[in-house]
Each structure stands twice: as C-alpha cells, then as structure tokens.
Structure 1
Amino acid sequence: MTKIGFIGLGIMGSPMAANLLRAGHDVTGYDVVPASVDRLLQAGGKPAPSIAEAVAGAEVIITMLPDSPQVTEVVLGPGGVLESAVEGQLLIDMSSIAPETSIAVAAAASARGVRALDAPVSGGEAGAIEASLSIMVGGSPEVFEAARPVLELLGKTVVHVGPAGSGQTVKAANQLMVAGIIALVSEAIVLLEASGVDSTKGLEVLAGGLAGNTVLNRKASSMLAREFAPGFRIDLHHKDMGIALTSARAAGVSLPVTGLVAQLVASARAQGYGGQDHSALLQVIESLSKP
C-alpha cells in the first residue's frame, strides 16, 4: 500500500483516484469543490481540508488540474505542494499544461529534493474510469521507473518520452490529432446525412477500414444522437490547441491544419459550447452548411 495525496478530483481525477483506492492504496484527496471530495470519501478515500494536509505523509503526490495557472498556484504558490513537501516525495503532475510550466515545476521540485514528473493523459473520462489511459511521461528515467507501478494502475499505455516537459509536448501532439479527427468525423456525418445515406451504417463501415479510429469507436453514437455530455470539454481542448500552436512557434515549425482546427474549436467556444464535450465541434461543422 502506497500513501497517495491526490489534488484535483474533477471529471478525470475522481475516477483515477477511485482506481487507486480499488488497487488497495491509501488515498487522501483535496479539491476546491466539496462534492468532488465527497465522491472520494464515498469511494473509500480520505478528505483533506487543505493542500498541505493532502501532501503530509504522502509518498506520492498526484495533481490533476485544468491549466498552467492552477498548477502554478497549487504546486508553486503559497500554501502549495512544494511548500509542504519533504525530500524524497514523488510529485506526478498529470494535468495538461504548457511544457515550460512543467519544466519550472521540475526545477523547483528538484531544489527541494522532491522528484517530479509531468505525466499528462489521453483517453478522456471513459479512459479514466476504465484505467485505460495513455500516459506520456516527462522526467528522469529513474523517477519514471519509481512511478511506473502507480501509473500502470491508471493507464494501459505508459511511456517515458523524454526529460521534463516532454510529456506535455507529446500531449499537445495528441490533442491536435484528436481535434482534427473529431472535425473530420463531423464532416463525414454532415456529408452522409445530407446525402441521404444511413449514417449509422456508414460510420460502422468506416470504422472497420483504414479510416477507423478511437473517436469513431467512442463518440460516433453520441455524435449521431447530438448528445454532448462532457467527457472532455471544448473549453479544455481550446486551451490545449493554444498550447500546440505555442509549442509549434517555439519549435519553429508550421502546423497549418492545426491552425485551422484550432479556429474551429475557438468558434465552438465562442458559440457557447465550451462546457460541452469536444465532439460538439460537430455543431460548428453543421452550422457552416446551414442557409
């Protein structure tokens, strides 16, 4: 049994913490939303009234937060993780944030003798619930090996991709691909429906060929039904597309398709779909063909 402090018990963090509890670990959790902490308590975890109390005595500290400002505040700020952490603790930030923020966290953690990894995930709420996430990890190989037993309880694909910040760069690449695929699946649905083809059967055959992908497998039925309950919100994907474009600028490369899809995601947010699932991009694609 490992003592784990888990900070950030939202759509992703809550089922991840529950999976760690099912595996027999001792999980103490903190979140600014009381209902999220209540869910952890019902799953058998322990509530922490503060970040400091989530960190105290933990062997592993996991953070799962929305964006760089929250990670900076929670990890580096007054009353944050590193203010309470002690030498030897392992900090795994599983948020999707800017690579430079992860690099800053790793440097600050190292100065206090805390081992740190950036380990963003892909797979959405379903992957978090099923413990089938893809986890891309940045940091030292030695720290990765120390964290592997915990990470393998949360995901099926757990890969060390390079030094601090590398996990975030790979996540940015993941997010630009996912958004692009959602946009193309949306276009396929619009074309099929406008042409009078049975869209359910059309997507079924597409999923069995070279066009097959996880978006089709997980999202096709809900997209056809226009059901967009959030598994991963447009607001968060908008943030991630910004990270992808900023990373491209820093690397000195051009990502023209990413730029176009980022504008479609931004349009979805501007049209009021920010709180819906990222598959709600279909509504933007549809609107382009309406008279």
Structure 2
Amino acid sequence: MSNVAVIGLGIMGLPMAVNLVKAGHTVTGYNRSQGAIDKLAAAGGRGATSIADAVKDADVVITMVPDSPDVEAVVSGADGVFANAAKGTLWIDASSIRPDVAKRLSDDAVAAGIRPLDAPVSGGEQGAIDGVLSIMVGGDAKDFADAQDVLNAVGKTIVHVGPSGSGQTVKAANQLIVAVNIQALSEAIVFLEAYGVDTDAALKVLGGGLAGSKVLDQKGAKMLARNFDPGFRLALHNKDLGIVTAAAREAGVTVPLGSAVAQLVTSMVAQGDGALDHSGLFKQALASSGRK
C-alpha cells in the first residue's frame, strides 16, 4: 500500500482520505482548518502541520481544493508540493479547475520531477463517502496505471480520457450536463406541484423512464423537501460553469443552454445563496413562478 498525502480535507477531500485509510493506505492529510485534520486522525489517518510535512514521505499526493488559484497556491513556491515531494511522486489533482491551468501545472510538475494526473471527480459528497466517484483522468498512461490502487479506493468509474488537461475538459462537460439537468428537474417539479400531482409518485415513474437520471435520483427528494444542505455548493458550480463558458468561447462552440443556466446560477450566488446545494436552483425556479 502507498503513503498518500491528501491536501484539502473539505466536503469531498475528507471522505476520500478516509476511504484511502480503509483501503489500507497510510494517509497524511493537511487542511487549513484543524477540525478536518482531527476527523481524519480519528479515522486512522495522520495530520500534518504544513504541505511540506504532508508530502515529504508520500508516494502519491492528492490535491482537492476549490479553484485554479488554490491549486497553484498549494503546488507552487518554496512551501508547495513541487518543491517538497520526492522526485517520481505521483500528483493527482482531484480539484475541478481550468483545463489550460491543469496543462500548465502539469508541465511545471514534470519539470520538477513529479508525475501529474488531472483527475477531477463527479458524484458529490455521497459518492465520495461511498467511494463510488466517477473519475476522469488526464495524463500519461503509465502514470494512470500506477495510480490505480489509489483511484480504486475512492472511485468506481475511472477512465483515462487523454493527455494532461483532458480530465478537466471532461469534467467541464460533466458540470454542463448536471447544471442543465438540475434546472430541467426544478422546472418539472414546479410544473407538477402547480397541478397538485403526487410528486413522490411522479418522480418515481419519471425515474423509471427516459427522463430518469442520477440528478433526479439524488436531487429530486431534496427539492421536494426544500432541503438544500450542501453536497456540492452553488458557488462551486458557478465557478465550474464559468470554466465551461470560457472554454467553449475559446473553442469557438456555442453552449446556449449551459450559458442560460450559468446566468441563473450566477444570479443565485449574487443574491447570497452560494452556500446552498446546487439543487437550490429549484428555489429560484419556484420564485420565478411566484411559488414557495
């Protein structure tokens, strides 16, 4: 089993680290807040006092932080991963960041003797807890093969999708599909409720047909209960849709549905709802129809 350092023990990073412990790996975690480190220690991991401390003996380093600047901050500089991890260490960035930044940082990693994989994940908090995340991986094929034991401890569907940056490109497509699905489900439930339909029964039958999806399975009940406790925050989905729209523009392709939903998500964040789960789009769908 490997010595694994996990940098970023948030909603996703902590359960991933715990699952690595359960799989038999030696796991050292670092986080800006001590509470998350204490939770990892209680689960059998070890806490680190700094990034340098976390990665010094690591075979594999996983970073799971919110955005492109956060990844740059933890890997670069005298206190970062690249300067303190041993040459030959595998670096798996599970964050969701811009594909161009992922490619640039992978080049920096290679120059430092580190083996990079961009491996963003999908499946939300529950998927992280259950160890069934979908992981889209960009990077060298041999490095991907060498990372299998670690990736298998946190994910179920794990696919090498191309060279460095490809994983982040596929993740952007994932976030586009999820956002549009959440908005469509929100509108459908508002429509059903307006007609007094038994919504539990309606979602059951819809879930068994072509309208069925993981979004419906995981978010439908939350919408019916008006429960928007975060599994994946709107603020983070807003960031991801910014990546989608910028990358689409750069590629010269149009994403009209994605752009429309991106504006709706931005509106919610601007109104102070960024901490809600992304199923909180339903709240806006209700308001736009004058319903609660």
Q: TM-score category by the smaller chain? A: over 0.9
Specify the alignment match of 2:235 in structure 1. 235
RMSD of aligned Cα (Å):
0.9
| CA distance in structure 1 between the aligned counterparts of 2:250 and 2:121, rounded to whole angstroms | 22
Query: Given the alignment of the two structures, is residue 18 of structure 1 paired with residue 1 of structure 2, yes or no?
Result: no
Instruction: Tell me the CA shift for residue 78 of structure 1.
Output: 3.5
Aligned-pair CA distance for 1:267: 1.4
Q: Deviations over 1:248-277 (max 9, x none)?
A: 011111111110010111111122210010
Aligned to 1:73: 73
Identity among equivalent positions (%) equals 56
Contact 2:175 2:240 (8 Å CA) reproduced: yes
Correspondence for 2:95 = 95
Counterpart position of 2:166: 166
Check if 1:209 corresponds to 2:209: yes
Letter matched to residue 160 of structure 2: H
Which residue type is aligned with residue 108 of structure 1?
D
Report deviation, 1:204.
1.0
Matched, 1:124 2:124: yes
Aligned partner of 1:266 in structure 2 is 266
CA distance in 1, matches of 2:77, 2:11: 24
- Structure 1 counterpart of 2:2: 2
| Aligned partner letter, 1:278 | H
Q: Does 1:255 align with 2:255?
A: yes
Instruction: Report the number of matched residues.
Output: 291
Local SS of the residue matching 2:147: helix
Q: Which amino acid aligns with 1:37?
A: I
Matches within 5 A, 1:100-115: 100-115=100-115
Q: Give the superposition deviation at 1:149.
A: 1.6
Shift of 1:189: 0.5
User: Contact 1:86–1:112 (CA<8 Å) still a contact in 2?
Assistant: no
- TM-score, normalising length: structure 1: 0.98
Is 1:188 the counterpart of 2:188? The answer is yes
Counterpart residue number, 2:84: 84
| CA displacement at 1:241 relative to structure 2 | 0.2
Structure 2 counterparts to residues 267-286 of structure 1, below 5 A? 267-286=267-286
Q: Distance in 2 between matches of 1:250 and 1:145?
A: 31
Q: Note the 1:142-181 alignment, pairs <5 A.
A: 142-181=142-181
* Cα-to-partner distance string for 1:186-240 (whole Å, 9 max, x where unaligned): 0011000011111111111100100000011111111100001100000000000
Q: Does 1:219 align with 2:224?
A: no
